[in-house]
Chain A
Amino acid sequence: MTKKISNLLKSANAQKNFKIMKLVALFLTIGMSISYAGNSYSQVTTLNLKLKNKTVREVFNEIEKNSEYVFLYNRETLDPERVVSINAKKETISDVLDKLFEGTDNTYKVSDRQIYISKAERQQQTVIIAEPEQQQKKQITGIVTDTEDIPIIGANIIEIGTTNGTITDIDGRFVLSVENEAILRITYIGYLEQEVSVKDKLTLSIILQEDISALDELIVVGYGVQKRSDITGSVQRVDAANFSTQLTTNMLEMLNGTVAGFSSNQGTGASGGGSMEIRGTTSIAADSNPLIVLDGVIYNGSIGDINPNDIESIDILKDASSAAIFGARSASGVLIVTTKRGSTSKPKINFSLKIGAVGVTNEIKPLNPQQYVQSRADFYNISNLDKPDYYYSDPYNLPGGLTLEEWKNFDSIPSDDPVEMWLNRLGMNNIEINNYKNGKTVNWYDLVMRNGVRQDYNVNVSGGSQSLRYFWSLDYTDNKGIIMGDDYRNVRSRVNLDSDITNFLNVGVNVQFADRNQSSQNANLNWAITASPYGNIFEEDEKTFTFYPHGDQLYLNPLLYYSLRDKLDVTQSLFTTLYGEVKFPYDISYKVSFTNRYSWQKNYHFDPITTPIGFAAQGYGRRIDESVYEWQIDNVLTWTKSIAEIHHINATFLLNAEKYQSWNSIQENSQFSPSGVLSFHALQAGISPSLSNNDQYSTGNALMSRLNYSLKDKYLFTGTWRRDGYSAFGQKNPHAEFQSAALGWRMSEESFFNINWIDQLKLRVSWGTNGNRAIGRYQALARLATTQYLYGTTLATGVYTNTMANSDLRWERTEALNFGIDFGLFKNIYGSVEYYDMTTRDLLLNRSLPRIIGYSRVMANLGELGNKGFELSINSKNIDKENLKWNSTLTFSLNRNKIKHLYGEMVDIVDDNGNIIGQKEADDIANEWFIGQALDRIWDYEILGVWQLDETEQAAVYGKRPGDMKLRDVNNDGVLNPTDDKVFQGYKTPKYRLGLRNDWTVFKNFTISAFIRTDLGFYGINNLYLNGEKNNIYERANRLYTEYWMPDNPTNKYGRLNSEVQTPKFNYWENRSFVRLQDLSVAYNIPQNKLKKYQIQNLRIYMSFRNLLTLTKWKHYDPESQTDMMPKNSSIGIDLTF
């Protein structure tokens, strides 16, 4: 029902023929609150009317006012200004309408409370342009429906190349005489245009696809919905249907790079996910994650517990004005997630299955056995210069002229086993020597890596009657990442119920349950890299895992904990919202919702004595139990009023309260006796117990009001005010207020606006302040920590002040100005341009203190941070033919960040002669925050290249040797110190982000979509170039393969093995810019006619790929995940609807 109405709304807006703006407001406000008690309304309801010399429109208004009837009509079919008089007493609607239309060509149809007015059937033929009948002509009858089989009323049908055409009636039917070979074009606003050939056909059944990205969709704006055309802020919608063919474990995977101004990097583990940030970093120390609002209520749970298959849409509120209604927590933007709900259609079961293989975008492997031996020889060669060149050469592959005897005689007492002598010279230990001699090698890398598998099974059932609508889903995700033991399972279920109790009260419940399991322990990739290829997996018994595969205690067996640690890590969460909505007289409605979130986590593990930790502790077990309970109540009062069709007012008031509680217990024990066989199930079996509790508590509340006002549908205004309270700031500043205002002008609606190729043009400007409170609950307090000590053998507990108090701590505030233009061009391009300028003040930050005070940091409100940016989104319909459709979406964004102020401490500016020539604000060098620079600015020594042999003396000035990195000594004083010699070089986050999505539909049933993502102009640390690993790794362990400097390979890019990188410390910054084909999917819809006989409504099969192709100069694993491996997924799936 809702669907049908919204279709009508779309039509109304575009064609300006309907008069039902009032209806729009009504429906937007009360949503589905009109109740349908049955079909008998029109039979039992009677009307009393006495009107004289009124227009038909006024009569309709009167009827609507006194009943629940709603009139729907097209101005072409009805003259609303016709003056009539009517007198009815206790008459049914049919009687009244019969009188009203007597003598006209209008007819009507009453469908429950809706009345459709159209022209009588016979009149329709008058639409056909009178032309002499010709023999080729034939009469076509047809029906136009949407994908849900609901007739579309008023769709235009035109015979291409002629002026011949008609529109559909209230049943979606039409009749038209056309040429034999004619092609019909069917158009309807809000739907994609379609062309149909009538060749060999007399009847047509046309299904129009909804144009889901149109300007007139309903956008969820928080505590209500708005038509896109009425929105004054910067809001971006992501339609989950676009991602239905992708194997998404976490909804963030839909958002990686796809929305302008929303930056998100992909996660690399089996749990998927990723990072998120809207419009740059607005905070230094506080959390910069956007607020998530799930079905109208603030969601503090794990994003991983929201099943992406349940999501209908995600609306991203980017500017201050639209986010301001969430005041205290909205400074980093808001993500509004709307899940699917039931409709009154017949029950539908949808089943989908997706299975994918997971690989890696780019692999770097450890040295293979040959490289390993060579690298050790090279290392010793350049380290032990007192030995001759050939001392470390393979005795059976000696360079020219040298005999084995000569080679052996370099040692005082040569043995008769040159291989053993050689390996001893290379510092190999017994295990390695034995395995080398036996030709036994281990490929540790292959042992810890695997082909990952992702699986997702989802079923949902939806449907409902007029008084109860339901949606229920159940999803099982089972992911195995690319590293052994990186497993993730999640069972997620959701029930959304909406019920109309009476025509003024409806209630509902949303329940989300998730059972997340991450019980397995990863194999350790780092240890797989360091373990020697000549090491042992097992001890001599071939079943006990070695602790140290090649006997070096610094390098553990990568399989140890993966194989031996007993682990349980399960989190169950329940998120429920109960709501009720009451419609009061005078267009007032009131909604109350009560939200609960529970979460229970068990994180247990046990290390048996067969592991190093367990061995040292004679068994070590730990249990962490944490439960969280929080609730919030939202009271929302809405008043909607239209005055004289010109003024439309929507006022919203919110009263909210929340409370958070969590309980955390940690139990540890060791020295298990008689054994640790009971694992973490019996920690009492140990004799060295340790306890720790951490319970937390916080409260908050909010008052909010919002006014939306639109004048003549052209001039739009939104204003909000919000007051928040939060206990973390409770000592001196419990409250904060946030305001916003926004204006919109739909320029294209003006009568003077007559640029044909511009369909829509709206200018927006908004201003507002938002808050951030994301700090620890007790950050404002001086906290004492406890500690224990012994006096002899008597245990005692002491305390110390752990943090400095700051009772003045208050909200961080971001003030933002946003300019936006929404446009629609040439009927097939629409998009928006945004410019914003944000300033964050009272930054919550851990300011550095001189450590002598006993604290190195204190949480404080200081400084000022600016973010400016530009965003562009363009959607275009490039080709729209029956057999080929091509749509593109382009997003572009840039953000520029700048630290404007920090602590306000002034320091002198001194010229070269030591004279004070002025003052400037002091930087925070310890944190590398500089006034006037971006937060992500890189400040480091500049690498000029590598010191070469002929530069030995210059290098020695800096304590360096040939093969070490040459750093720039800016002031040429022969000493490298940060204040003088570190320089600004580039940025850590992308300067430009681009996304391009293309969707093709070929032969109606094939769809292909491709998403290309580009992040440009940023740098990351890739210290592989330096060959400066710690712990003498070059003579003790293996490592990732890299090229290295040698006297006979004097590269200027790579350091020598074990190059000096500690004094001073520096990093190799490498460009991370990349272009990546992030998503590619191909789907095939099995044609409807083949499915009908199996009772299948819809069947789709598809393949999709993620991270198929990446172009970059970045030489470590992946430019996005830097020094972690990035998964590369290929999946297939099937989607079945009964």
Chain B
Amino acid sequence: MKKKYKFFLLSVIAVMIFSCEEGWFSPKPLSIFAPENVYVDKAGLDAVLLTCRRGLRDEFYGGPSVFTNELMSSECCISGSKGVTATHNFRIQVTPNGTGQSDFFKHWDNAYVQIRNANVIISRIDAPDWNSEQDKNEILAEAYFHRAYWYYRLVNQFGDVPFLNREYTEPKTTFYTHSRKTILTKIQDDMEFAVLWLPNIVDPGKVNRAAGNHLLTKIYLANSQFDKAISSASAVIESGVHSLMKQRFGKYASDGKYNVIWDLHQKENKSSAENKEGILIVQDKYGFPDAQAGNGTDAIRNYSGCWWNTQFLRDPEGKSACTDKSGDWQIVKLGRGNGYARPTNYTSYEIWADCGADLRHDTTVNWMPMEKLLINNPSSNYYGEPVEKKYNNTIDTIQSWFPWPYYKFYIEDEQRPLQPWGGHSDWYVFRLAETYLLRAEAYWWKGDLIAAASDINEVRARTLAPPVNPSNVTIEYILDERVRELYGEEPRKTELTRIAFIMANNSFNGYSTDNFHKKNYWFDRIDEKNNFYNFGIMYGTNEYKIDPYHVLWPIPQDVIDNNMGGFINQNIGYFGSENNISPKEEITESD
């Protein structure tokens, strides 16, 4: 009988459950935050900024890092990979449906995801009850910074792209392309507001006013507003917060073997309080598994050669010269590189001609020349002797034989100490040396060669390089200096394309926007300086080949396809561009 009651009770309960249906059906996301309870106060919006700041980091890390795409789309590098997917032949491999192993579309995705995050803040900026206008505007200013940062990159990678002015909380498939110029104007406005509110001094990893002005300088340059560029760059240089590091500092300061350039690029020193040169530094340190960047920088993999590969380098008898045997002295000292970004002769040799005592090319500690590479294969009869290029197939040297700036890219690897790939380290996004070079560029566009040379020489003097004579300052010289100083830090393709657009917009040297896809400074410089593209060099499956229209990367086809109700233009030269319509010249609140 007892059971009978139990069942009766249960059925009563069941009926009761039905009588209070409302609460019964509300979804309970137990382990998931929702916009409704997070995006309501300063802490919530600040938590989104954290995601934006972290988002600045991704492209520099991992192997191949996305950042290497910027280098191989310039005069500086090619993809040194031999794999079948390696991006060598732009004509065949760089298409709206994919760009090979070097996935250019990751830039697109990274950018638009961070734009989404920034737009969450921008659209919800009035949701919290703010204590002060300052609080609110600081948050808004940094959101504008992130949105502008990514659009600055996008318009120089992909040209005309859709501008999203707000957070989207429901599906939309009716986007249209905005012109590059419209976007640059918009982000200039936003950044002019942002630099009024960004704080001067921030924790490492956050965005300060100098970072805002640094970005604004680049935007002004892109808009050919050179005077404004000079003043915003000056705002950084004269802020009192930042200065070039000219004296030894940090972890190795007392070790006479090294020098200030070495100090500047050691992972312990990049974000240290002593370091006044770093403006915006993304953060990565070993021992914080949920905060650190995957397996680290992989800087050795990205920027140094595959010299250890037993198939490539040979001793005089044709035996493997080198090995990557775990713990071998040379593999520990040089790391197990993979040449994802394989420098051209321009990067490795030409820019270092007559470099004098330039610390950046100091071969005792900073620079790794190939002459220092020794045979470490124990079964070779020439063990311990230098590897000689003449015993090798030229083609095999593509991935395995090139010098590299050791001080920048050799990063002790906590996870793979016996076969280092490049461990965890902070990375410079903006550094004051670049601000000087940007101001120098602005002066140059204005024809003020003396001021330009002065700024360049600020940077050169610090590295003990001989000063440049104002009459020798050209845009080419500035570009060379940028490689010497900023290799692996500056987004090379972005900057080169920016300059190509400045020339086209100002009808400089016969360049024009009308036939930009056929003739542009970006391609002409690659054609002149890059000793791989268009020479019929076949490595692995594909030949190295590039065309003028690759100045703008293709718009991903799936974005075009999935935007059924609207129209996103394809860049001219890629299939699908024949259907293009005029891009929008106005950005509205509803975009």
Contact = CB atoms under 8 A, between A and B. Distances in A.
B48 A697 contact: no
B11 A791 contact: no
A691 to B, nearest CB: 9
A907 B15 contact: no
Interface of B: 3-4, 7, 10-11, 13-15, 17-18, 21, 24-35, 38, 44, 47-51, 53-54, 82-85, 89, 91-93, 95-98, 100, 108-109, 112-113, 115-117, 119-120, 161-162, 164, 168-173, 175, 203-206, 271, 283-285, 287-292, 295, 310-311, 314, 316-320, 323-326, 336, 377, 379, 391, 393, 395, 415-416, 419, 540-543, 556-565, 568, 575-576
A1032 B85 CA distance: 10
B32 to A, nearest CB: 5
Contacts of A852: 112, 115, 161-162, 164, 175, 559
A59 to B, nearest CB: 36
A160 interface: no
B381 to A, nearest CB: 8
Given A730-B25, A781-B34, A1063-B92, A655 B171 contact: no
Given A792-B271, A851-B109, A905-B564, 8 more contacts: A592-B11, A727-B24, A799-B47, A852-B559, A853-B175, A903-B173, A1058-B541, A1062-B93
A730 B26 contact: yes
B11 A922 contact: no
A791 B120 contact: no
A796 B113 CA distance: 20
A488 B89 CA distance: 49
Nearest to B283: A790
B558 A925 contact: yes
A505 B6 CA distance: 13
A655 to B, nearest CB: 6
Contact of A413 (B49, B51, B89, B318): B318
B311 A790 contact: no
Contacts of A413: 316-318, 391
A860 interface: yes
A959 B89 contact: yes
A907 B564 contact: yes
Interface stretch (A221-229, A417-425, A674-682): A417-425
B285 A793 contact: yes
A96 B91 CA distance: 103
Give the interface SS of chain A, mostly helix, strand, loop or mixed. mixed
B17 A657 contact: yes
A1124 B98 CA distance: 29
Top 6 A-B pairs, shortest CB-CB distance: A854-B116, A798-B50, A905-B564, A959-B92, A791-B203, A784-B33
Interface in A1059-1094: 1060-1065
A430 B322 CA distance: 10
Nearest to A417: B317
A592 B10 contact: yes
A849 B560 CA distance: 10
A780 B27 contact: yes
A292 interface: no
A36 interface: no
B171 A804 contact: yes
Given A804-B170, A978-B97, A853 B164 contact: yes
Q: Which of A635, A689, A789, A1061 has the most CB of B within 10 A?
A: A789
- Identify the interface centre among A578, A582, A780, A786: most chain B CB within 10 Å of its CB: A786
A699 to B, nearest CB: 5
B383 to A, nearest CB: 12
Interface in A587-607: 592, 594
Contact of B54 (A430, A657, A789, A792): A789
A693 interface: yes
Contact of B27 (A671, A778, A804, A907): A778
A452 to B, nearest CB: 36
19 contacts: A384-B393, A424-B320, A429-B311, A430-B310, A430-B379, A592-B14, A688-B288, A697-B28, A727-B27, A791-B204, A791-B205, A799-B47, A800-B117, A849-B562, A926-B558, A977-B97, A1063-B93, A1063-B95, A1063-B542
Contacts of B295: 616
A507 interface: yes
A127 B283 CA distance: 102
A626 interface: no
Given A690-B289, A701-B21, A791-B203, A977 B83 contact: no
Contacts, number: 321
Contacts of A979: 557, 575-576
B209 to A, nearest CB: 17
A701 B29 contact: no
B116 A801 contact: yes
Contact of B26 (A412, A657, A727): A727
Interface of A: 384, 411-415, 420-421, 424-425, 427-430, 501, 505, 507, 547, 551, 553, 578, 580, 582, 592, 594, 616-617, 633, 635, 655-657, 668, 670-671, 687-690, 693-699, 701, 725-728, 730-731, 734, 777-778, 780-784, 786-801, 804-806, 847-855, 858, 860, 903, 905, 907, 922, 924-926, 958-959, 975, 977-980, 1028, 1030-1032, 1035-1036, 1058, 1060-1065
B84 A1058 contact: yes
Contacts of B95: 977, 1063-1064
A1062 B576 CA distance: 21
A415 B317 contact: yes
Task: Name the residue among B53, B291, B295 with the largest chain A CB count within 10 angstroms.
Answer: B291
A792 B203 contact: yes
A688 B287 contact: yes
A734 B25 contact: yes
A657 B84 contact: no
- Output the residue of A425, A428, A852 with the most chain B CB within 10 A: A852
Given A413-B317, A852-B559, A858-B171, A695 B100 contact: no
Given A413-B318, A958-B92, A905 B48 contact: no
Nearest to A499: B3
A853 B172 CA distance: 8
Contact of B85 (A778, A905, A1030): A1030
Nearest to B271: A792
Contacts of B89: 959, 1063
Contacts of B391: 412-413
B27 A429 contact: no
A892 B564 CA distance: 41
Contacts of A1028: 84
Contact of B18 (A553, A657, A731): A657
B171 A860 contact: yes
B482 to A, nearest CB: 28
A905 B565 contact: yes
Contacts of A553: 324, 336, 419
Nearest to B558: A926
Contact of B48 (A800, A922, A959): A800
Nearest to B95: A977
Most buried by A among B35, B171, B336: B171
A553 B310 CA distance: 12
A849 B173 contact: yes
A613 to B, nearest CB: 10
Contacts of B117: 800-801, 854
B394 to A, nearest CB: 10
B47 to A, nearest CB: 4
Contacts of A978: 97, 557
B29 A778 contact: yes
Contacts of B162: 852
A778 B120 CA distance: 21
A787 B295 CA distance: 16
A580 B4 contact: yes
Contacts of A799: 33, 38, 44, 47-48, 50-51
A977 B54 CA distance: 36
Nearest to B379: A430
A726 B28 CA distance: 12
B18 A701 contact: yes
